[in-house]
Amino acid sequence: MAAIELRNIVKVFSDKRRGRDLLTLDNINLDIETNDFVCLLGPSGCGKSTLLNIIAGFEQATSGRTLVGGRQVERPGSDRGVVFQQPTLMPWLTAIDNIAFHLKLKGVAKAERHHRAMEFIDLVGLRGFEHHHPSEMSGGMNQRVGIARALLMNPSVILMDEPFAALDAQTKLEMQEELVAIWQKRRCTIVFVTHSVDEALVLGNKIVVMTKRPGRIREAVNFDLPRPRDITSPEFNDAKRHILSLIREESTRLAQAS
Amino acid sequence: MTSVTDVSPARPAFRPTRAFQGLERLVVPALLIAGWEAFARSGMLPPALLPAPSAVLHALGDWVFGFDETTQTYSGHWLRDALASALRVFGGFALASLLGILAGVAIGWSRLFEKTLEPTLQMLRPIPPVSWIPLAIIWFGIADKPAIFLVFLGAFFPVLMNSIHGVKTVDHNLVRAGAMMGANGRQMLTDIVLPAALPSIFAGLRIAVGSAWMLTVTAEMVAVKSGLGYVLWDSYYFLRYDIVLAAMISIGLLGYLSDLGLKAIMARTLRWQQTTTVQGRAG
């Protein structure tokens, strides 16, 4: 059984100002296997974030079925950890309390919460900063807290919506490497939304290329280059060329259509 | 042979010392008071109409400590008067904070309360609290109650408005994050929305404590026979402008102290919020 099954997902937004409906996702069918690292790759406005929000339960599909672990998704829940584009931490809580927030909601005592959160503080390399507030840490550190917070819930899938988009190039590289290391160590299913071909190829073992509005799946590419991946290797470049050609084909098609 | 001891350390650039930094904020008030004293002593106005600062200070001192009874029946009664006013402020403010936050959070959080409760409250809001005085007197008589009622009216709406605003402007993504971590409706309110709205609620409380002092004094002028406002108005009837000014100073001072107290509580509660100014971080 796949970890996530998307069946005929259609999402229509009603654009009230223009008085017409906007087809954002057009008949998406996708199976994501357990322990897959899937990258949803597509240009801005292709509906990849909408698709992620539907899996997270933040938004409802207009039609179609979304199953996570075989169960229909109806609302957000702690079986799906979400890492947002902005860290989205509670600014009044320290790093450790943000990471352990899920345990607090479940009524776990403070000592136990902190004890269990320390493991994740170490995992994302924030030892020494556990009592800092988000305003006292950098964007990259806050995003680590956001990742640790999602991991602590031990969810069956982790959904990431361009979490590194706001970081500088060097921090982004470090974070990508760490994310891969965490994924290898903890064996979890990750769905990662990105618009960067390189990021998708560095991270994913399955790259789902989406088309521009209305969002459809152009092709799901399996990419099993061993890690750590050498981004200058011929295999990497072959895959990149293939994906770029898919994207280019798409833009020529759009240009001809208009 | 050159000795190392000859090398004197570079002179630090001139920086005002700590003591001087404290003094610079006193320059304007000191000049104002000196000018006022000089003007009052020049005899251009009769001393009864514009008492000199020294006379005001004298009246205030006697009112507080009762050394020569220049303030007659008030001599030595300052503490009693100030306490009477402060209790009314505290009573009305506490009631207004409690109900203002409750109603504000309810309206900001629930569409139902917004539709049912808010129109009525917003219609009551433009009515100046002072215009309730006649009703307050026939309802509650001449005592503490009408004053507390008036203070409540003045303090309630700033708390209400800021609580509504605070709850309504909570970052939508924080609510999503809460839902993702499994927060139920009650937890969403107590663990996410309320803390996120606190800075805004505190802003409302600070405005409210100012209105509270304003309305206590107003109420005491007409509806109560004690407190700083009563002393102010009573002294006006006897043309004791020195006591009038002493009362004004007392009210200003107590209002300022209340705000300082509130700011201290706020600083403790909102320690997580780094106060940033345009010039950089402070505190």
Note whether B282 contacts A: Cβ–Cβ < 8 A: no
**pLDDT tens digits, chain B, 283 residues: what are they?**
444 454 455 555 555 566 666 788 889 989 999 999 999 888 888 877 788 899 899 999 999 988 888 888 888 889 999 999 999 999 999 999 999 999 999 999 999 999 999 999 999 999 999 999 999 989 988 888 999 999 999 999 999 999 999 999 999 999 999 999 999 999 999 999 999 999 999 999 999 999 999 999 999 988 888 899 999 999 999 888 999 999 999 999 999 999 999 999 998 888 887 654 444 444 3
Q: What is the pLDDT of residue B10?
A: 53
Residues forming beta bridges with residue A63, ordered by sequence position: A10
CB contact under 8 A, B179 and A90: no
Query: How many Cβ contacts (< 8 angstroms) between chains A and B?
Result: 65
Distances (CA, A) of B34 to A17, B30, B39, B165: 65, 6, 9, 45
Give the span between the Cα atoms of B48 and B52, in whole angstroms. 9
- Pick from A76, A90, A149: which is nearest to B176 by CB? A76
Whether B177 is covered by a domain: the verdict is: yes
CB contact under 8 A, B177 and A153: no
Q: What is the pLDDT of residue B20?
A: 64
Whether B79 is covered by a domain: the verdict is: yes
Question: Quick one: which of B168, B131, B137 has its CA closest to B153?
Answer: B131
Question: Once rounded to an integer, what is the mean pLDDT over residues A148-176?
Answer: 90
Whether B152 is covered by a domain: the verdict is: yes
Q: Is the pLDDT of residue A55 over 50?
A: yes
Note whether B169 contacts A: Cβ–Cβ < 8 A: no
Whether B219 is covered by a domain: the verdict is: yes
Strands A63-68 and A4-15: antiparallel
Whether B238 is covered by a domain: the verdict is: yes
* CATH number of domain containing B158: 1.10.3720.10
CB contact under 8 A, B180 and A90: no
Chain B residues 188-217 with CB within 8 Å of chain A:
191-192, 195-196, 198
Cα-only R_g, chain B: 25
Q: What is the pLDDT of residue A221?
A: 84
Reply yes or no: is the peptide bond before residue B129 cis, omega within 30 of 0.
Answer: no
Largest CA distance in chain B: 96
CB contact under 8 A, B174 and A101: no
CB contact under 8 A, A135 and B274: yes
The total number of structural domains in chain B stands at 1
What dotted CATH number matches A1-71+191-258?
3.40.50.300
Q: What is the pLDDT of residues A88-103, one digit of tens each?
A: 999 999 999 999 999 9
Q: What is the pTM of this model?
A: 0.82
Q: Which residues constitute the domain of residue B228?
A: 74-271
Whether B133 is covered by a domain: the verdict is: yes
Element (H, E) at B3: none
Whether B28 is covered by a domain: the verdict is: no
| pLDDT bucket at A167, cuts 50 / 70 / 90 | confident
Q: Is B276 helix (H, G, I), strand (E, B) or coil?
A: strand
The CA distance from A253 to the nearest CA of chain B, in Å, is 36
The answer to whether A149 and A101 have CB atoms below 8 angstroms apart is: yes
User: What tokens were used for B260?
Assistant: 């300082």
Residue of B nearest to A105 (CA): B183
What burial class does residue B111 get, using C-beta atoms within 10 Å of its C-beta: 0-12 exposed, 13-18 middle, 19+ buried? exposed
DSSP chain A: --SEEEEEEEEEEEETTTTEEEEEEEEEEEEE-TT-EEEEE--TTSSHHHHHHHHHTSS--SEEEEEETTEE--S--TTEEEE-SS----TTS-HHHHHTHHHHHTT--HHHHHHHHHHHHHHTT-TT-TT--GGGS-HHHHHHHHHHHHHHT--SEEEEESTTTTS-HHHHHHHHHHHHHHHHHHT-EEEEEES-HHHHHHH-SEEEEE-SSSB-EEEEEE----SS--TTSHHHHHHHHHHHHHHHHHHHHHHHH-
Cα-only R_g, chain A: 19
- The phi, psi pair for A40, rounded to 5°, reads -90, 115
The answer to whether A42 and A212 have CB atoms below 8 angstroms apart is: yes
pLDDT above 70: percentage of residues in chain A = 99
Residues forming beta bridges with residue A215, ordered by sequence position: A25
The DSSP letter of residue B10 is P
What burial class does residue B25 get, using C-beta atoms within 10 Å of its C-beta: 0-12 exposed, 13-18 middle, 19+ buried? exposed
CB contact under 8 A, A133 and B196: no
